[in-house]
Structure formats: structure tokens, C-alpha cells
Amino acid sequence: MKHIRNFCIIAHIDHGKSTLADRLLEYTQTIKITEGQMLDDMDLERERGITIKSHAIQMEYTYKGEKYVLNLIDTPGHVDFSYEVSRSIAACEGALLVVDASQGVQAQTISNLYMALEHDLEIIPVMNKCDMASAMPDEVEDEIIDLLGCKHEDIIRASGKTGMGVEEILQAVIERIPCPNGDENAPLQALIFDSVFNSFRGIIAYFKVENGIIRSGDKVKFFNTGKEYVADEVGVLKMDMIPRKELRTGDVGYIISGIKTSSEVKVGDTITHIARPCEKAIEGFEEVKPMVFAGVYPIEAEDYENLRASLEKLQLNDASLTFQPESSLALGFGFRCGFLGLLHMEIVQERLDREFDMNVITTVPNVSYMVYDKQGGVQEVHNPGGMPEPTLIDHIEEPYIDASIITTTDYIGPIMTLCLGKRGELVRQDYISGNRVELHYKMPLGEIVIDFYDKLKSISKGYASFDYHQAGFRPSKLVKLDILLNGESVDALSTLTHIDNAYDLGRRMCEKLKELSPRQQFEIAIQAAIGAKIIARETIKAVRKDVTAKCYGGDVSRKRKLLEKQKRGKKRMKQIGTVEVPQKAFLAVLKLD
């Protein structure tokens, strides 16, 4: 155990975690680096240049004549995948805190650091990208010292591109990070921190052994679900899975036990022996709280069961996804899914398409509200269709967040304007160092769901960084905005919005739908309504055939007779005609701005 070190790499987006991980793997001769970001093995990660999943890998390194085993977990940097980071941190004793030498400390750096400190991890500060022309090592070093309270000599200057400082990082990992502390003779306790689905071997769970020893062939049970299995194979994670006879305390590895149903594996569960079980499960693992809700529906109704199976398999690999069945008049049967943010929602949609061939329609994203009725009862409402009648509602409360935005002083004005437009209240502003400032806002979560992050990035030219935590509920004046096509409500386009934004939003939605809906043989009215009150209207003109073309000469009454006949036909068609909303109109309404 003295020769094991478990650590993760945490940082803000684009500070070079995955590139640094490549250098560490190359230096310890674990794998040959054939292309950049070897651990990002999903197509989506490669295309977008972001890490979506945490990746665990084992390295071996000889230091002062002794051989050490280093278990490294590379984590995502985007705020939408912070749950992945919290799970990785639970499986480690130390963390490399990577800070970009040209950008300095940013919002996600701070929030990931706090997460690591809560778990009592040993922090090794690393300043990456020191080879860049725009690097400001001295200023950034001062920022790190302000943040951590460490000494100048504790900070390692490195570069993931050139490999500078990699040797010092490995030495620091061995010298500064403590070895795992557990008892090999105690009953088995292992924490599951991730799982994947394999169509040949069933579900593979990744775990870290806290106490005891697990051998292949052992009879084990999962503590929370109480299900029992035989450990067919245990082993360690390199680029591939490498089977081992046994895993001892402190090791990180995988277990295959032929589990077929995904509901039996819960991330954060504890594995123990049947013969000699541990007394209690490992603690310190919180349930995920989804921030954004949206309906996901199959395009073909018969794909409903396939979609359920796909979501279950995806949930194994992405524990922050939650879902429950729901139905809609316009779209049939589907699921109400909870996501951590808009990027997360987009990634889940892409992964459903690529990994499971599921083509889906997603409704307008929204958050969950607390609705109080006049009898004093309360219910949680995730989608506008579940709202009680307006006459029965006493008041509605919406979720608020504590947001922290770090930016340079040049962009304070535009950012404040943006936050005020989103009904934010400035709590305080702190100057971090030089011209960097941290703004603290209280804001409604519903306002930042759609496009806040994108706008923030564009007005600050990519320099502002954003992080948030939930901060309870507050009463608010919310109304349900319905979109009517030919007098029929399209429930998939209904939204809950603040009364101040309703008129503007209704008008913009109608205009967008008019632009994107195909013309029919009859006139279509697109209306936005609050209750029975219409607040905006657009009309799609009918496609008309020139029925008078065959009349040449003769009395005008012949033409009028033909036009009257056409008018009656159009009227009859309008009564029986139905209007389909195309998929691209749904998506365009989401991205209204």
C-alpha cells in the first residue's frame, strides 16, 4: 500500500488537463502517444476538444529505486460535468490543480478546488502552458498563492506541450500525496465511482478498494441494492482492462460480474463480501441534483421501449442524467429528463444519436417550480403541462442560484447589464488581483437555462468564467405561455416564464414559427396566449391555386363563383386539417436569440 498513489487532475476548461495527462503517460512509458488527448476516447470529446467523462488509468514509475503504482483520473472542466469531478475526487487522496499561465485562476478552478478541499485532498498546484508567449507566470503564481496560501516553491511550472516539469510533477505526487489509508484485514469495502455497459460482458463497474481485499471468484454483494454476485473478473485499468488475481486496499480497478440490468448498479454504492460484510456503506457521496428539465420523445412512437433501454445504458455511464416517463398530446409517449445544464443536454442528445441510433425530439428546457395552491398544499412542477388551473394557484416559487462570475475589469459594465436583464441581484464584488474581479449574483435559475452562458462568453470575448450553486426557492410572478396553432395548443412549446418577459417571448416565438413552418392549403393562425388572453399573433397565408385561370372573357360572376367555391373548400379543410410542427422549428424556438 505504501507504493500506491491515487490522484486526479482538476482545472477550468481548456487549461490543458488532458494534454498534461498525455505527457505523464508518455513519461512513465504507460502507452505510446499516437495522437493528442489519448484518454478522451469518445468521438464527441475529440470533435469538441472537451473532456466529457472522467478517465481512470494506471501508471508505473520508479523513483529512488522503488517502484510506485500511480492511479490517475483525468476529469472534465466544464461546469455541466462537475458531477464527474466530484465522483473522481471521492476516489483519490490528492489532486493536481492545473492553472493556465496565460489565463490565471478562473471560476471552475475555484469551485473544483473547494470540492477537493472538502474531501481533505492534498493539493499540488501546477502552472501549465508556461512555454506560451502570452504566459504571465509571476502574476498567476501570486494568484495561486492568494487562493491556496502555499509557498512559491510549492508551485510546479510545467507545459503539457513540451513536457517541461513532468518529472517534478511525478516526484511531487510521490512525495506530497499520502498513500491510501485502509486496513487490508478489515471486511471488504469498495466504492463504485463509475460504470460502463458492454454488450458482451454486461455492466462493468469501476471501483476503489477502501478496506480489505477482493479476489476474482469471490462472492460479493452491493450494499445499497442488496444484490449478490460472483466476481468473474477483477483487474486494473490501463488503456485496456488488465485482469488481476486480486486487488488490495488502495487499488483502483474494475469488476465484471455478469450484471444485465442497469438499475442494479448505482454510482456511489459500496461493494462488500457476502461471507464477511462491512457494517456500513462508504459515505461522502451526494445524490445528483438536476438543474434543467426537458422532455425527450422518440420520433417514431414504436421506438419508446428502445429509447428507455438507451437512456438506461447511458445513465450507467453518465450518472448525472435522470429520467422518468411522461406523455404529451403533440408528441405521444416519452421521458422527462433532468440535466445539469444545456451543454449536458446537447451531449446526451448527440450520444443517444451516435451510440444508440436514437433520433429524438427535445422540448423547450425548463427548471422545476414549487406551486402552492389556496388550500396550502404544495407540488413540484417540472413541465408546464403539469400546472394546475390559474384560479387554484396561490403563488409560485422558483429556484434561485448563487452565481460567481470572474472577469477582467474591462467587461464589468456589459456583464452587469446582462445579469440585470436576467433579473439578477448583485450581492458583492471582490477584486482578486490586478484587474481581475469576482462578481457574486443571486439569479433565478430559469433565466440562465437557455442562453446565459453563451451570451456571457460572447460579451466578455471568452474571458469571463461562470460557476453556480443552488440557493433555495423564492416567490415569483410566473405565467404559463401557450402557443396555439389554429386554436390548438401545442403542449411541447408551452413554457413557464416571468410576466415581464412573456409578451416579448410570445411575439418572438410566433415570428420564428411563422418563418419555419411550411405553408398549407389553408390559412394558419399562430398565437401566443396567457390563459385565455392572446398576446401575439402571426398568420401563415394559404398556398393558393389560381382557379380562375380557365376563365377568359365572359361575365365576372363566373370568376366569383369559382373563387367562392375555393373559399368554401379552404374553410372545410381548415376544420379537418392538422398542422405538424417540424423538428427544426422546435430547435429554433430553443435558440431564439
**Of 125 and 553, which is predicted with more confidence?**
125
The pLDDT of residue 265 is: 81
Per-residue pLDDT for 397 more than 80? yes
Question: pLDDT category, 178, cuts 50, 70, 90?
Answer: confident
First to last CA, the chain: 56
**In this predicted model, what pLDDT tens digit does every residue of 252-298 receive, in sequence order?**
888 888 888 777 887 778 888 888 888 777 775 666 777 778 888 88
The pLDDT of residue 301 is: 78
* Contact partners, residue 55, CB within 8 Å, separation at least 6: 21, 39, 40, 41, 73, 74
**In this predicted model, what pLDDT tens digit does every residue of 519-528 receive, in sequence order?**
777 778 888 9
The pLDDT of residue 186 is: 85
Q: What angle do CA 390, 392, 396 make, to 5 degrees?
A: 70
Instruction: Note the residue count of the chain.
Output: 593
**In this predicted model, what pLDDT tens digit does every residue of 22-79 receive, in sequence order?**
888 888 877 776 666 666 767 777 777 777 777 888 888 888 888 888 888 888 877 7
The pLDDT of residue 378 is: 87
Mean pLDDT of the chain: 82
Task: Return the closest-CA partner of residue 282 out of 166, 397, 188, 356.
Answer: 188
- The span from the CA of 426 to the CA of 230, in Å, is 56
Number of neighbours of residue 453 by Cβ within 10 angstroms? 19
Question: pLDDT category, 484, cuts 50, 70, 90?
Answer: confident
The pLDDT of residue 401 is: 86
**In this predicted model, what pLDDT tens digit does every residue of 452-466 receive, in sequence order?**
777 887 787 766 777
What percentage of residues in the chain have a pLDDT greater than 90?
Answer: 1
Task: Return the closest-CA partner of residue 442 out of 486, 478, 405.
Answer: 405
Integer CA distances (angstroms), 278 to 101, 186, 221, 324, in order: 46, 8, 10, 33
Task: Return the closest-CA partner of residue 255 out of 226, 309, 211, 219.
Answer: 219
Question: pLDDT category, 468, cuts 50, 70, 90?
Answer: confident
pTM, two decimals, is: 0.72
Q: What does the pLDDT average to over 134-141?
A: 85
